[in-house]
Structure 1
């Protein structure tokens, strides 16, 4: 890897990608893949192709996150998101224990988890000089 200075643009790009994938699959606005599929059988092949693409992206995000963060890291990111959510709700006076807030919180936590999984190796390498590799058995 190069010795370029670390910048947050890569983390932001990965975060936006994670948010896009998570909220494209489902969001409470009514404009998501799940809503589109449940809307009827028209455009069947387009729905199938889109679903396959979203499944591939979700599996890639999940596999990468699980491989980089491991279960303990995933639990720490999840606890951090829960703590941040309750803190922000307490500061702003927003009720957090209603179904809509819990759903948005869960979706944002999943996107944050994927962002952390995609970004951890890069941040760790740029800030600490530690490289992460994966051994592949031949």
Structure 2
């Protein structure tokens, strides 16, 4: 749960439709090259690299595509059964951001989830000695 909250924080700090995000801060800044904007951008980039790399390593391309397909199909069902409307772009944006954070949190947590489900341990680091 903590990994997902951190992923939500990363995603929504980077961009969200409310107008309070790093993207909006940068877009509204008179001087685009300010130290605090750059520092925040670098910190966000570090967070994105950690999450995206962990997701790519643990889920792989196929696993990531399957996770996105699962969530995408869920959104399609919500639209199809008129639970949400395509005309409500703000809600759809929030849903997409939540899905993105869920996929990234799953990727970061996948080794723990797999170990609990199967009892198998993942080891990525090898000694070359």
Report the TM-score when normalising by structure 1. 0.81
Pairing of 1:53-64 with structure 2 (within 5 A): 53-64=43-54
- Mapped pair 1:134 → 2:124: yes
Instruction: Give the equivalent residue in structure 2 for 1:20.
Output: 9
CA distance in 1 between counterparts of 2:61 and 2:95 reads 20
Q: How many residues are treated as equivalent by the alignment?
A: 127
Aligned counterpart for 1:72 among listed residues 42, 49, 62? 62
Deviation at 1:73, TM superposition (A): 0.2
Deviation at 1:90, TM superposition (A): 4.3
Gaps (5+ residues) in structure 1?
1-11
Tell me if the contact between 1:23 and 1:107 (Cα under 8 Å) persists in the aligned partners. Answer: yes
Find runs of 4+ consecutive structure 1 residues off by over 4 angstroms: none
CA distance in 1 between counterparts of 2:40 and 2:9 reads 14
CA distance in 1 between counterparts of 2:49 and 2:32 reads 26
Change (3 A) 1:137 1:99: farther
Gaps (5+ residues) in structure 2?
none
Change (3 A) 1:75 1:39: same
Instruction: Give the equivalent residue in structure 2 for 1:6.
Output: none
